[in-house]
Structure 1
Amino acid sequence: MERIAVLTSGGDAPGMNAAVRAVVRKGHHYGLDVVGVYRGYTGLIQGDFKTMDLGSVGDIIHRGGTILYSARSEAFKTPEGQNKAVEKLKEHGIDGLVVIGGDGSFRGAQALTARGFPAVGVPGTIDNDIPGTDFTIGFDTAINTVIECIDRIRDTATSHERTYVVEVMGRDAGDIALWAGLAEGAESILIPEAPYDLDEIVKRLERGSQRGKKHSIIIVAEGVGSGVEIGRQIKDKAGFETRVTVLGHIQRGGTPTAFDRVLASRMGSKAVDLLLQGESDQMVASRKNEIIGVRFDEAFTMKHQPDMSIYDLASILAI
């Protein structure tokens, strides 16, 4: 292992740059040449490579997004595209690849390992929906962004004595809604992993109103459905003045938190270690604050499940 490459793929996540920095500098620490692949698997197929020295990753640890850019690639989903990617890697003398991204990115990395090319994944997604790891890079920053936004919404909700429904991202997982909901003291949290009863939500709002509560916050994970539609149903049933805010992609950008910078640095470093140890077909994972390697197959066969004790606690505290 003398020359490795790193790419970012899928949706961007705060902390990806910190992970890229860790891969590059840990690689140089071991005397490796490190190559950056631009625009994910699209760039891999096109050979959009650039050698990265120590200075190329200077002053990026605090920046959101990814300096390597990211793109979707339909061509890479085909056997022909995957074969072309391996050809490009070998053509440039690359011996191993670090893929920073989510579930789809990891399946791409596994496709390369099936063709005999060593690849390791680093979980970077705000959704925190990758089985096998407690946390993914970008999740902590995203929930802090959501909290900051809801704090501002709460000021307006109180001033106008309104109910606010806030739709957050998360794809098919409810982690962002769950953590932000507990941190915000939301009256109700709607996540894909738990059924919800609209009548019970309305009763909770009515109980709050009867004891003099001036506003209410309901958080809806996008995997549940449209926050706009749920807000309309609540307004029709309860009769409260209701507003809906869809936070959207504002949750994906911004300066990464200290937690995400440290997590990304540890995970990027571990990815290089795994390649040098001859390991492949693995993703880096955080379990009980330990950074380890986990087989892709293990991650793909497991089902992601948020910590439902947080859901139960949020329901109790929002009584």
Structure 2
Amino acid sequence: MAPGDRHGQAPPHTHPKGDAMTEPTPIHHPNPAGIKRVAVLTSGGDAPGMNAAIRAVVRTATFEGIEVVGVRRGFSGLHRGELQLLGPRDVANTIQRGGTVLLTARSSTWRTPEGRARGAAHLREWNVDGLIVIGGDGSFHGGHYLQQEHGVPVVGVPGTIDNDLYGTDHTIGYFTAVETALDAVDKLRDTGASHERIFVIEVMGRHAGHIALDVAVAGGAEEVFIPEDGKPVADAIAVVQDSVAKGKLGSIIIVAEGYPGGAQGVADAIQAETGLETRVSILGHIQRGGSPVSSDRILASRLGEASVYALMEGRSNVMVGRGSGGITYTPLHETWEKRKDVSRDLYRCAKTLSV
């Protein structure tokens, strides 16, 4: 099946104008790879929607007659042999939950060849034919080396709020993180205007400014600082001074955590130069929590389904993603080697609308 084809779905029905659309009939997907049992794990930082992806993996595999082994605590648990069979009822009532029911962890042991060999041995003991890794670039590194060193077919599912993986328009958890941060910005704008204060708000994004940029536009921020652009803090000072001259009661400045100096550095420079009352709010890990919004649930469901089909088709060492309305496949190493830029049009828009 060629990339971009519909996975496991009947062809779209056509109807004469005015006829009601009939319910599509699920059909079984080809399984030339002969997959009988897959394993799934979540690794690295948790992201809202991971549970929806796990649920989709389990239920898609079950529909196709494939068993699923859940690995608890990511690669750390795989190294220790924390594996268990999962069925459809094990993932019931999880799609709306934040975090990950399989738990997650970061593993220094997995960074060693010996640690990966131990994990591969556990997969062989459980007769696993392929591994689905839900996580970010660090998790994909782990899956990539497992496949290279031990021949275990690995498919990645992009689960990270930073939206910084090349090869997919959006990552699982990103939409919810933006909504969580935006809700906080709206509240801080109220108190900032009441006290005529400047709020410098730091959002997550160690290497990417996607969250910061979306929140800045949606929250009506006066300025935004992202790692992709090394503009000086003096820009924020000029914006604040201009806002005061225009009679604005308060200003909101969004800073991605990866911007040099972070929110505290920006705030210190503003207060030192202008003498205006400035407050810093670092939103931190609150952006990872909470019930996933509908967009994350849908994305996770589609990508979880696609990851099972990818293994059945014999694909390996790739990440499934969404692009141009369809499923995409990107070699795992490209997801971190190639750069995913922020939307420059949106960046321009943020500046235009801050007047």
Q: What residue ranges of structure 1 are gaps of 5+ in the alignment?
A: none
Structure 1 residue 206: Cα displacement: 1.5
The root-mean-square deviation of aligned C-alpha atoms, in Å, is: 0.9
1:103-132 alpha-carbon deviations (Å, 9 max, x no partner):
010011111111211110000000011111
Equivalent in the alignment of 1:135: 170
- How many residue pairs end up in the alignment? 319
Q: 1:79 aligns with which of 98, 113, 119?
A: 113
Q: Look up the match of 1:254.
A: 290
Query: Among 128, 138, 155, which residue is 1:104 paired with?
Result: 138
Which residue of 281, 285, 288 maps to 2:324?
A: 288
Q: What is the 5 A alignment of 1:176-191?
A: 176-191=211-226
Q: How far apart, in 1, do the equivalents of 2:42 and 2:297 lie?
A: 16
Task: Determine if contact 2:203/2:211 at 8 Å carries over to the other structure.
Answer: yes
Give the superposition deviation at 1:22.
0.2
- Matching residue's letter, 1:137: I
For the residue of structure 2 that corresponds to 1:34, the secondary structure is strand
- Does residue 313 of structure 1 match 2:349? yes
Aligned to 1:10: 44
Aligned residues of 1:96 and 1:119 also touching (Cα < 8 A)? yes
- Give the secondary structure class of the aligned counterpart of 2:254: strand
Matching of residue 56 in structure 1 with residue 90 in structure 2: yes
Is the Cα–Cα contact under 8 Å of residues 169 and 251 in structure 1 kept in the other structure? yes
Is 1:282–1:296's contact at 8 Å kept on the other side of the alignment? yes
Q: After superposition, where does 1:28-67 map in structure 2 within 5 Å?
A: 28-67=62-101
- Out of 99, 121, 139, the position equivalent to 2:156 is 121
CA distance in 2, matches of 1:198, 1:111: 41
Q: Is the 8 A contact 1:134 1:286 kept in 2?
A: yes
- How far the C-alpha of 1:238 sits from its partner, in A, is 1.7
Q: Aligned to 1:314, what secondary structure does the other structure show? A: helix
1:229 deviation in Å?
2.3
Q: How far apart are 1:194 and its partner, in Å?
A: 0.7
Q: CA deviation at 1:247?
A: 0.5
Aligned counterpart, 1:266: 302
Q: Does 1:68 align with 2:102?
A: yes
Provide runs of 4+ in structure 1 moved above 3 Å: none
Q: Quote the residue 1:208 is aligned against.
A: 243
Q: Which amino acid aligns with 1:80?
A: E
Q: CA deviation at 1:35?
A: 0.8
Bigger CA radius of gyration: 2
Q: Does the 8 Å contact 2:196/2:250 carry over to 1?
A: yes
SS in 2 for 1:12: coil
- Rounded Cα–Cα distance in structure 2 between residues aligned with 1:69 and 1:303: 29
Q: Percent identity?
A: 47
The answer to whether the Cα contact below 8 Å between 1:162 and 1:243 also exists between their aligned partners in 2 is yes
**TM-score of the two chains, using structure 2 as the length reference:** 0.88
SS at match of 1:292: strand
Q: Distance in 2 between matches of 1:226 and 1:117?
A: 40
1:19 and 1:268 in contact (8 A); partners too: yes
TM-score (norm: length of structure 1): 0.98
Matches of 2:234 and 2:227 in 1, distance apart? 18
| CA distance in 1 between partners of 2:210 and 2:108 (Å) | 28
> What letter corresponds to residue 61 of structure 2 in structure 1?
G
Amino acid at match of 1:292: T
User: Structure 1 residue 222 and structure 2 residue 257: aligned?
Assistant: yes
Where structure 2 has 5 or more consecutive residues not aligned to the other structure, the ranges are 1-34
Matched residue SS, 1:284: strand
1:270, 1:292 within 8 Å by CA — same for their partners in 2? no
Larger relative helix fraction:
1
Shift of 1:169: 0.6
By how many angstroms is 1:199 displaced? 2.4
